[in-house]
A and B are shown apart, each in its own frame.
Chain A
Amino acid sequence: MPLIRKPSSAGSSTPPTPAPEPAAIFDALARGNDDERWSAARAAADFADSVPALAEALRREKSQVVREALFLALARIASAQSVEAVLPFMRSDDASIRTQATDALLAMKEAAWPYVPALLRDKDADVRILACGLVRDMPREVAVKLCCDLLDSETEPNVCSAAVDVLAEAGDSSALPALERCASRFGAAPFLAFSLKLAIDRLRSQSSRA
């Protein structure tokens, strides 16, 4: 039988690589090649003190693969400091970086939640739209309240649409007044009127069944 069982030299008997010291990690993040920076980013996730070095590396990083590891390391640390390191990348001109930042914040769950109300009031409508994606994962009552408050003050139909999507999934009858007020303000925006009607019909139907 040609199949072999014994470990090959290709690695199955390789002992685990000793965890590198933080100084070596920071040096690799700053000066390593793609592979070294990727490995350093992964190792840095085990050290909460590495947040400033990870944030600095993110500002410089051009490789999407390494950047993914940097965002994931910050997400695994999940502290207020690591959230604050990720937040600026929600304003990136590069859509893939904005998405990676939002995914990292989503993964940080409770650590990111205190920042969401401010993101929903951000002057940049794109940031407010991404923040609606973060609301989706929050406790239902909090999510509904945040989205209703947003709808009452929001001037940008695309942001309203993102909040309406969240309410259509997570909302209950308490969201109906805010949705109806929004419908009366934005009746002229056909795509928003459509999604508002869908959400209102769904929530009314849910509450009549309850």
Chain B
Amino acid sequence: MFLTEAKRYYVERRLVERMTETGSRSFEDYFARLRSDLQREIEQFVNAFTVNETYFYREEHQLACLSSDLLTARLKVKPRGEPIRIWSVPCSTGEEPYSIAIWLLENWQHVDQYDIEIIGSDIDTDAIALARAGVYGKRALMRLPPAVVDKYFVASGNETWELMRDLRESVRFTRANIISRAETEPHGRFDVIFCRNVLIYFDDLARRTAAENLFENLLPGAFICLGHTESMSRISPLFDVARFDHAIVYQRPAR
């Protein structure tokens, strides 16, 4: 994560929050606690700095691209019987991986013919816990058609809706830091990776390291979708640009 001088207030606010939460009397007290990882403070510190602002069907054109083009391209080269593997990283509080699941159930005519394995990963373990719980407020659901909300969610009071259990259980959540090869490599290789709006927070070296890690997690010919303000071409020469009607994505060369 690359934080410039312009982010000083952002950093200070979160540091003060953690110092208050841990009862630290000074920065030195808190820093000592952080360095010794007392009561898993490093994880709490990382959690405080992550941004978990998202909603269902965000950048819907990429979901349309997934069902109309990316999966069609993958099925042409995948051995029969192998599952289609999709990775949402970072997945924040689960809106993206669940959106992928709902979108495919609603929009991909072949959804009943294939096993589809969706994994959501994030560095923030609090966000992962919320993702597993699958309870969302009105803002997170604002882009979903009402019929889709009725079909997959149950109102759970206080302006919140709980995702149906079958769907919650169809997505697996893990912790992963995309800068760490030791954490990305065990996830295996995927047909499509969604890695949106995170690389913008990294410095150049971290961005390029993440790009190499993600390249390794793609099957030959598989695709990666970035956020609309991000360009893999400016980060790494490893990927080909793949232009489709609904979106421009990046592809690991088939060979």
Contact = CB atoms under 8 A, between A and B. Distances in A.
B167 A1 contact: yes
A61 B189 CA distance: 26
Contact of A3 (B101, B181, B208, B209): B101
A10 B236 contact: no
Interface in B202-235: 203-205, 208-209, 212, 216
Interface in A27-84: 42, 64-65, 68-69, 72, 75-76
Nearest to B113: A2
Nearest to B255: A34
Contacts of B83: 4, 8, 10
Contacts of B167: 1, 3
A16 interface: yes
A38 B186 CA distance: 18
A2 B116 CA distance: 7
Interface residues of A, number: 29
Interface residues of B, number: 38
A5 B169 contact: yes
Given A2-B112, A3-B116, A4-B116, A12 B105 contact: no
A8 to B, nearest CB: 5
A107 interface: yes
B133 interface: no
B170 A68 contact: no
Contact of B212 (A1, A69, A100, A103): A69
Interface string B177-198: 0000110011111000000000
Contacts of B185: 14, 16-17
B43 to A, nearest CB: 19
Interface of A: 1-8, 10-17, 42, 64-65, 68-69, 72, 75-76, 96, 100, 103, 106-107
